[in-house]
């Protein structure tokens, strides 16, 4: 466990003894695809890290429409705000694939924040970056569907590379649109040679053209 934490933000710069103490109280849990890691309003009793697999942070809107706020992959720490204020989880966390999640007790995390100024700074920088991502997604609501999907694909490419292993349904939830509209837009992008698609994945073939669309 301590070797895993040594490669994860914001735990990289902790001392060996500090990581050993965290490892001693941390627990791994396996989640099947579709299983809830936690629900909106649950007590924030743990800081979570994806060890393997993929976890989506989601909000369910009136009428049942799902909106994905963040896609968490191996090495990603979530959920950020409850780690600081210890208030309930603000979103649902759902395993998008079979996943392993490391759970660190919030109390242990809080103790480190209080005792280690460098760890506090690293944590705040990480969490501020996540908040910027959420803020940017909120601003995307005023963009066209084409722009939102282009931005979503570019953001995902930073995690996965040029081939993005999300279904069209998952891309629709990330771009806050319907599956039908997502299929239509992706078909247009495919005809233009900007992307290639196969069942369950999308490959960015011409990233510059996609960036031009995202910022148009």
Tell me, what CATH number does 126's domain have? 2.60.120.10
Mean pLDDT of 67-90: 90
Each residue's pLDDT tens digit, 96-144? 999 999 999 999 999 999 999 999 999 999 888 887 777 666 656 667 9
Each residue's pLDDT tens digit, 146-158? 999 999 999 999 9
Tell me, what CATH number does 182's domain have? 1.10.10.10
8 Å CB contact between 183 and 176 = no
Do 179 and 128 have their domain in common?
A: no
Do 38 and 125 have their domain in common?
A: yes
d(CA 189, CA 205): 10
> Token match 């940017």: residue?
136
Do 38 and 127 have their domain in common?
A: yes
Q: Which domain holds residue 23?
A: 2-139
> How far, in Å, are 54, 62, 168, 169, 176 from residue 165 at the CA level?
10, 28, 10, 12, 18
- pLDDT range class, residue 58, cuts 50, 70, 90: very high
pTM of the model as a whole: 0.89
Look at residues 108, 139, 170 and tell me which one is the last residue of a structural domain: 139
Tally of domains within the chain:
2
Do 99 and 182 have their domain in common?
A: no
Kindly report the backbone phi and psi dihedral angles of residue 63, in degrees, each rounded to the nearest multiple of 5, phi listed first.
95, -5
CA-based nearest residue to 77, from 61, 60, 93 = 93
Do 109 and 129 have their domain in common?
A: yes
Mean pLDDT of 193-213: 95
């Amino acid at each position: 466990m301590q070797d895993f934490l040594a490669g994860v933000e914001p735990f990289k710069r902790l001392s060996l003894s500090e990581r050993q103490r965290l490892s001693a109280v941390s627990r791994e849990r396996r989640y099947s695809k579709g299983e809830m890691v936690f629900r909106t309003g649950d007590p924030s009793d743990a800081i979570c890290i994806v060890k393997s697999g993929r976890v989506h942070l989601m909000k369910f809107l009136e009428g049942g429409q799902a909106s994905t706020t963040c896609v968490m992959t191996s090495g990603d720490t979530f959920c950020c705000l409850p780690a600081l204020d210890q208030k309930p989880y603000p979103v649902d966390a759902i395993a998008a694939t079979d996943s392993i999640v490391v759970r660190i007790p919030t109390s242990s995390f809080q103790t480190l924040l209080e005792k280690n100024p460098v760890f506090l700074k690293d944590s705040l920088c990480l969490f501020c970056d996540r908040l910027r991502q959420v803020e940017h997604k909120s601003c995307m609501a005023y963009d066209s569907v084409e722009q939102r999907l282009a931005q979503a694909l570019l953001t995902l490419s930073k995690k996965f590379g040029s081939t993005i292993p999300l279904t069209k349904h998952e891309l629709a939830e990330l771009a806050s649109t319907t599956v039908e509209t997502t299929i239509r837009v992706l078909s247009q992008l495919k005809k233009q040679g900007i992307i290639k698609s196969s069942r369950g994945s999308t490959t960015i073939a011409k990233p510059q053209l996609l960036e031009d669309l995202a910022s148009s």
